[in-house]
Structure 1
């Protein structure tokens, strides 16, 4: 399992920072400390795959 930080999440998804936090379907972040957060890379990839599969 790999945790990725915000810049990589934004790069992978193409979302803006505000867009990322506004999307309720986006995977939840993991708190790393008092200020640090990251996301589980496999959850981000699954989210992207779901978005691709849902397109018509």
Structure 2
């Protein structure tokens, strides 16, 4: 039996802030530095982040912490 593919959703900025604990300014600073996933344009004036990319970023931070201990 194969594992079902996790559903990917698009997260708006408030959702990303809630999931990561980061503020708007630091999120955009980290994007500029290549340290956080870039958003995708969903309309001419709106962006969102693929949930799987945010989840992978969170997992990488946990893994980095575990390597230090």
Alignment RMSD, CA only? 0.7
Distance 1:39 1:45 in 2: 10
Instruction: Using CA pairs under 8 Å that are at least 6 residues apart, name the structure with larger relative contact order, 1 or 2.
Output: 1
Unaligned 5+ segments in structure 1 are none
Deviation at 1:2, TM superposition (A): 0.7
Unaligned 5+ segments in structure 2 are 1-7
* TM-score, normalised with respect to structure 2: 0.77
| Aligned positions, number | 56
Tell me the secondary structure at the aligned position of residue 49 of structure 2.
strand
**Corresponding residue for residue 36 of structure 2:** 26
Deviating 4+ runs (over 2 angstroms): none
**Corresponding residue for residue 60 of structure 2:** 50
